[in-house]
């Protein structure tokens, strides 16, 4: 195996790049802005230019690079075909082919969905270290999910594995999810969803006592912080999130029975306080065959993606 | 590779045995009764005796046998440890070790859950032929499920993969499931569950018009047959089953996005009529990334298990 490998995690506003030793050590990391104009046509050329600059700085060449692993914010099938990355302006195309067209000297190239990559990263050197399988869920603007079985990412047939955020959990939700559906898990259990539920609760004149105020400044973090001080309404909101998300994860377990659940994304900064409520919900509903599945917090933060991208190559 | 392999599918009343060429051809099959007395201590010795008899009849020896694949009616982890097979009287033990203790001449041995084996069998030569991944659900006395990804069975950490039958789909169910929970999918969508729902509906004096009568003779098959003749209550019952099961399968898709769903078990003898209702429910709730996943009926019937058991070895 060659001595180095690149991990590239493409997001809607920034692209994270990591140079790793193939022994697993992160040598350096950096980021460049994501230029999404013109259907995101600059994204891959910008990545290749950045990788070449990084090599120049260290006096190494593609001959020293085992390969490039890449994560993108959208569904990717097993052949590396991406089905729209709305955040990048991308339509449907085959990423490995495009990358090799730009840089034929790359020895090995793999691509997956960004949350799948992060899940593998957490399995390798983060919150699921030492495990062979994991289901990770990221609670942020939306809900992302990733599945790893036998240390390999499961992309799913159309790249849909892990997309549990659009499982319909409420039948009479009047507001539409951004997917067009109604009652999706992500409408209640993402950071945005928690904030939405808080606003809705505050609009009810009979709501529980609370120090929360429905202003422009209200955030999901403020709801979690209030719950930690035993604010009655905030506690109720976080409990409901934990109950609903925990319940949905019993369906994940009934499908693939992962060794561990990893909770990440911005909302997971609420820490063990939130994790315990999700666990409580899960154990309330889980079948005995998987009732004791452990839960961990993600540990690698925004670096999880570049770790997982490199791990795909090793 | 040696020329032959055995598939052994252990059920609560009978053990199915199949002798295959390792090219995939089923040479002969048979069955022996399952002796469950004394904690099922005779089950594995009876299997070994039957395999030896089959070889004697053909004048072949263990030297001609690539291996033995086995399916058992309970959760099995990746090391072959079984966690209770209530139907066999078995507790917790390591099956490969027990089998090799009885017959050290076996070259290769693999064991999995019976529904997982059936799923792999359907993928190899049945309703999912030519696919690389599938989720199969069997609708019988209970609901069984099996997951295959990249042509390999996913057992799950505690053997719980596929156990979606105990996902809680109703929050206010007064009757207990046999697992001890309340509101499990299997209480509504198995053959037993459909019959239970029919009995409950018939007990309501305001039920829809129907030719069904709540007697000892009522069966899930009769409900399906009546629905096929447009019996209003029976149609409602089958529609509800399809809607609920289809919805639950969207959670499966959001976890692993299989290439195909396969519907098996006794209730699946209702054929495309039932399949279409499950599909309709699924497409009503599914996220676009996996909305078009195809559905197939199982094709191998009771032989699916022995096919899958052998496929594990190849």
- Report yes or no on B120 lying in a domain: no
Regarding whether A157 and A97 lie in a shared domain, the answer is no
C-alpha span between A184 and B147 (Å, rounded): 24
R_g of chain B computed on alpha carbons: 20
* Residue with tokens 């390591």, as numbered in its chain: B94
CA B236 from chain center: how many Å?
Answer: 26
Distance (Å) from the alpha carbon of A170 to chain B's nearest alpha carbon? 11
Whether the Cβ atoms of residue A134 and residue A148 lie closer than 8 Å to each other: yes
For the purposes of burial, counting CB atoms within 10 Å of the CB of B16, is it exposed (0-12), middle (13-18) or buried (19 or more)? buried
C-alpha span between B35 and B17 (Å, rounded): 15
Q: Exposed e or buried b for every residue in A112-149, given b needs 16+ CB within 10 A?
A: bbbbbbbbbbbbbbbbbeebbbbbbbbbbbbbbbbbbb
A62/B contact by beta carbon, under 8 A: no
* Residue with tokens 């063990």, as numbered in its chain: A272
pLDDT above 90 for A272: yes
Regarding whether A86 and A153 lie in a shared domain, the answer is no
Regarding whether A139 and A107 lie in a shared domain, the answer is no
Number of compact structural domains in chain A: 2
> Which strands sit side by side in the sheet containing A152-153, from one edge to the other?
A152-153, A143-149, A134-139, A261-264, A295-297
What is this structure's pTM? 0.93
- Among candidate residues B304, B16, B303, the one with its CA nearest the CA of residue B134: B304
Regarding whether A223 and A239 lie in a shared domain, the answer is yes
C-alpha span between A12 and A36 (Å, rounded): 8
Q: What is the pLDDT of residues B112-129, one digit of tens each?
A: 999 999 999 999 999 999
Residue B12's pLDDT is 87
Regarding whether B79 and B154 lie in a shared domain, the answer is no
- Report yes or no on B312 lying in a domain: no
Residues of A in contact with B115 (CB under 8 A): none
CB atoms within 10 A of CB A259: 20
Residue A289's domain is classified under what CATH number? 3.30.420.40
Interface of A with B in 142-181 (CB under 8 A): 145, 147, 149-150, 152, 154-168, 179-181
* Strand locations in B81-219 (E): 81-85, 90-94, 109-113, 134-139, 143-149, 152-153
- Report yes or no on B306 lying in a domain: no
- Report yes or no on B304 lying in a domain: no
Q: For residues B185-196, give the mean pLDDT.
A: 97
Sequence-distant (6+) residues with CB within 8 A of B23 are: none
Residues facing residue B68 across a β-bridge: B6, B109
- Among candidate residues A114, A110, A123, the one with its CA nearest the CA of residue A142: A114
Regarding whether A152 and A81 lie in a shared domain, the answer is no
Residues of B in contact with A144 (CB under 8 A): none
Whether the Cβ atoms of residue B185 and residue B143 lie closer than 8 Å to each other: yes
- Report yes or no on B74 lying in a domain: yes
CA angle B195, A286, B110 (to 5 degrees): 85
pLDDT above 90 for A75: no
Q: What is the pLDDT of residues A284-294, one digit of tens each?
A: 999 999 999 99
Which parts of chain A fold into alpha helices (H)?
A: 37-40, 43-58, 95-102, 114-125, 186-189, 191-202, 220-228, 232-256, 272-285, 304-311
Regarding whether B233 and B95 lie in a shared domain, the answer is no
Regarding whether B169 and B105 lie in a shared domain, the answer is no
Residue A169's pLDDT is 96
- A150 three-class SS: coil
Interface of B with A in 254-313 (CB under 8 A): 254-259, 285, 287-290, 292-293
Q: What is the pLDDT of residues B12-27, one digit of tens each?
A: 889 999 999 999 999 9
Residue A87's pLDDT is 83
User: HSE of A165 in the Cβ direction (CA atoms, 13 Å)?
Assistant: 27
Whether the Cβ atoms of residue B297 and residue B272 lie closer than 8 Å to each other: yes
Question: In this structure, what token pair is assigned to residue A270?
Answer: 């609420």
CB contact under 8 A, B258 and A156: yes
Residues of A in contact with B172 (CB under 8 A): none
C-alpha span between B140 and B191 (Å, rounded): 5
Quote the domain boundaries for residue A87. Answer: 4-124+303-311
Residues of A in contact with B160 (CB under 8 A): 253-254, 257, 287, 289-290
C-alpha span between A71 and A51 (Å, rounded): 15
pLDDT above 90 for B215: no
Distance (Å) from the alpha carbon of A293 to chain B's nearest alpha carbon? 9
Pairing of strands B109-113, B65-72: parallel
Pairing of strands B65-72, B4-10: parallel
Whether the Cβ atoms of residue A111 and residue A97 lie closer than 8 Å to each other: no
Residue B78's pLDDT is 84
- Report yes or no on B57 lying in a domain: yes
Q: For residues B26-37, give the mean pLDDT.
A: 95
C-alpha span between B147 and B159 (Å, rounded): 11
Q: For residues A99-125, give the mean pLDDT.
A: 96
Regarding whether B283 and B183 lie in a shared domain, the answer is yes
Whether the Cβ atoms of residue A268 and residue A139 lie closer than 8 Å to each other: yes
Question: In this structure, what token pair is assigned to residue A1?
Answer: 């195996």
Q: What is the pLDDT of residues A292-302, one digit of tens each?
A: 999 999 999 99
Which residue does chain B place closest to A289, by CA atoms? B160
Regarding whether B283 and B149 lie in a shared domain, the answer is yes
Q: What is the pLDDT of residues B98-108, one digit of tens each?
A: 999 999 999 99
Residue B192 pLDDT class (50, 70, 90 cuts): very high
- Among candidate residues A191, A140, A135, the one with its CA nearest the CA of residue A164: A135
Q: How many beta-carbon contacts under 8 Å exist across A and B?
A: 151
For the purposes of burial, counting CB atoms within 10 Å of the CB of B206, is it exposed (0-12), middle (13-18) or buried (19 or more)? exposed
- Among candidate residues B169, B164, B151, the one with its CA nearest the CA of residue B314: B151
Residue B157's pLDDT is 93
Regarding whether A284 and A181 lie in a shared domain, the answer is yes
CB contact under 8 A, B255 and A252: yes
pLDDT above 90 for A12: no
From B60, B78, B113, the end of a domain falls on B113
Interface of B with A in 180-239 (CB under 8 A): 180-181, 184
Residues of A in contact with B168 (CB under 8 A): 247, 250, 285
Sequence-distant (6+) residues with CB within 8 A of B265 are: B137, B138, B139, B140, B143, B144, B190, B191, B298
- Among candidate residues A87, A71, A229, A218, the one with its CA nearest the CA of residue A155: A71
Regarding whether A255 and A179 lie in a shared domain, the answer is yes
Residue A60's pLDDT is 96
Give the percent of chain B with pLDDT over 90.
91
For chain A, what is the mean pLDDT? 95
Segment holding B27, helix H or strand E: strand B26-33
Whether the Cβ atoms of residue B27 and residue B20 lie closer than 8 Å to each other: yes
Sequence-distant (6+) residues with CB within 8 A of A246 are: A277, A278, A279, A280, A281, A282, A283, A284, A285
């Amino acid at each position: 195996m060659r001595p180095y490998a690149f991990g590239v995690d493409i997001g809607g506003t920034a692209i994270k790049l990591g140079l790793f030793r193939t022994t697993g050590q992160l040598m350096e990391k950096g980021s460049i802005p994501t230029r999404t104009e013109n259907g995101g046509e600059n994204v891959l050329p910008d990545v290749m230019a950045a990788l070449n600059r990084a090599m120049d700085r260290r006096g190494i060449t593609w001959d020293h690079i085992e390969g490039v692993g890449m994560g993108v914010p959208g569904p990717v099938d097993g052949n590396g075909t991406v089905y729209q990355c709305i955040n990048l302006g991308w339509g449907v195309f085959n990423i490995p082919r495009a990358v090799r067209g730009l840089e034929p000297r790359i020895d090995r190239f793999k691509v997956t969905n960004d949350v799948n990559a992060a899940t593998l990263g957490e399995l390798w050197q983060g919150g699921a270290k030492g495990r062979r399988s994991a289901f990770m869920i990221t609670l942020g603007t939306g809900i992302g999910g990733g599945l790893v079985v036998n240390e390999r990412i499961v992309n799913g047939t159309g790249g849909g594995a892990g997309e549990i955020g659009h499982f319909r959990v409420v039948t009479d939700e009047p507001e539409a999810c951004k997917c067009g559906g109604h009652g999706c898990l992500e409408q209640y259990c993402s950071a945005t969803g928690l904030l939405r539920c808080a606003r809705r609760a505050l609009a009810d004149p009979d709501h529980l006592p609370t120090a929360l105020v429905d202003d422009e400044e209200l955030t999901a973090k403020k709801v979690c912080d209030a719950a930690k001080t035993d604010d009655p309404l905030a506690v109720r909101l976080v409990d409901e999130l934990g109950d609903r998300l925990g319940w949905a994860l019993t369906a994940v377990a009934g499908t693939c029975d992962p060794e561990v659940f990893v909770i990440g994304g911005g909302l997971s900064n609420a820490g063990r306080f939130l994790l315990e409520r999700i666990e409580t919900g899960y154990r309330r509903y889980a079948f005995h065959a998987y009732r004791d599945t452990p839960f961990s917090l993600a540990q690698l933060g925004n670096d999880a993606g570049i770790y997982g991208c490199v791990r795909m190559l090793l």
